[in-house]
Amino acid sequence: MQQQAVLLACSTESNITAWDLATATQLTQYKGNASGRGRVTRLGSDYLAAAQNSKDAIHFWTWHKDQVLQRCFTQEPLTALAASPNGAYLVGGGASGTLYCWEAFSGRLLRSWPAHYKAVSCLAFSDSGGLLVSAGEDTLVAAWLLAEVLDEQRDGPAAAAAAVGMARVEPLHTWSEHTLPVTCIYLGCGEGSALLATASLDRSVKLWSLTTGQLLRTITLPAGVTSVTLDAGEHVLLAGCVDGSIWEAPLAGQQLAAPAAAAAAAGGSGAAAAASDAAAAAAAAAGVVGGPGSCCYEGHSKAISSLEITPDGEQLVSGSEDGTARIWDLRSRQCLRSIASPNKAPVTAALLMAWPGHLGPAGSAGRQGPKRLQPLAALAKFAGAAGTSKPWEGALTVLDGSLCSNSSSSCSNAASTAAAVAGLLPGPLANPLDLLQLQGSVAAPAAANGGLINQQQQGSGQGSGQQQQQQDVAQLQQQVEQLQQQLQESRQVSGQWQALHGELHQFCTDKVLAAGLDA
């Protein structure tokens, strides 16, 4: 199995340290970081990104260098940061509740939109990166389709292009059942049918269905929840609280797991054990964790900032504001190893990762990077800026040659029409709908251009040119109508499949919950 490492990041100015999971020995460190909870993320396979506390900046590191590789500045302090699984997109949440989406390869700020009324507290991508979930201090949780975020047609026609990248995006789902700020979210496997867990300072963890948006279960804990995770099979929930405790709750049945010590303590008499079991069953049925028979991992003295389960499902890694990270055995619930952060600074992130094979086992001397790094450009601060792209580099433009006939005159007229329309649009040609809106303004520039070339042929040449341009525009309009009809048919089929998928998912959910209650 590939070597696993734990990355520790702190809220005060210090280094991000990498530790070997098996031996708790330090592998390397990355200098120049001070990031809060939920602001550190991996970007693809080659980079680490962290939003800084004291300045409106994002720092980037590559695994084989301990110095900051790149610094990018943002419009406001970022309170949350997440990257798509393939590293193509980076999303940050601001203190004002605004979400920012960058394209990592080009550095362009693709879109920024108001998503929350207060600061964004956490972000999470689905396995394929097609779904983004955000939560904020306004107690709201929202799910966003990445395709909707990247849809440039939301910016409207060229006449309203002054606010490029600022069009509002409508969420797929919005939940507002929490009563205090949401501190952590966990998005399971399954893309649109994934299980979503949200944790809040209101001492509750809520489980949601992304398919229907319905609340599946609410679990109440003894203290405010600051971190949450589920095992690979999504049978057991682990929640960390503000008092440093970590609670374990099974999701399949009603009876909560009890550690051996609690069972021994409750075994003083048969009546006492029966009363304890009855109280635990009643608490479990009500969705309450922390009563008799519940399971608690004790060792941290301050709030839990991070929880992650190892890929083999045998160990739990927890980070805490007490300046330590602990590795727990999930079977015995015992602490195997404890790792201290530099200068005992509060740990805000304890990330698990497969240590790159091209790096040495320890230290930074003699390390070499991969043969080819993933492209990374400096992030643009404002929408519409090209980042570090060259002036001639931009979005791909597909030219359809169906308008050109065999005769050279038709091709020339079509080319002049395209040139005239492109001259009217501010920037690259947006879509065929812009051609329809400029249908009345195409003929005049083209006719004027023809008059400048040859004034003697203005009478007959201009008339034929206008006629050909009108035919070209009519063909474009016909193509747009056909595309709109195909789009409508595709949406109908997609809606039918979505309805069938939702019914199937609800049926399976009811069966699983019924089986758990019967057990």
Q: What is the pLDDT of residues 420-463, one digit of tens each?
A: 433 434 333 344 444 334 444 434 444 444 443 444 445 555 56
CATH class in words for 4-155+163-257+294-354: mainly beta
Say how far apart CA 14 and CA 300 lie, in whole Å: 21
Q: Are 210 and 506 in contact (CB under 8 A)?
A: no
Residue 439: per-residue pLDDT: 43
Note the pLDDT of residue 191: 76
| Element housing 131 (H / E) | strand 131-136
Q: Which run of H or of E encompasses 480?
A: helix 458-518
Helix and strand totals (H; E) in the chain: 7, 28
Residues 6+ apart with CB under 8 A from 397: 428, 429
Residue 15, pLDDT score: 93
In this prediction, the residues of the chain whose per-residue pLDDT falls under 50 are 158-164, 254-286, 291-293, 362-365, 388-392, 394-457
Token pair in block for residue 428 = 């690259």
What confidence score (pLDDT) does residue 252 get? 67
pLDDT of residue 238: 94
Q: What angle do CA 224, 230, 232 make, to 5 degrees?
A: 170
> Tens of pLDDT along 42-71?
999 899 999 999 889 999 999 989 999 999
Cβ burial of 243 (10 Å; 0-12, 13-18, 19+) is: middle
**What residues does each domain of the chain span?**
4-155+163-257+294-354, 413-423+430-507
The string of DSSP letters for 35-58 reads --TT-EEEETTTEEEEE-SSSSEE
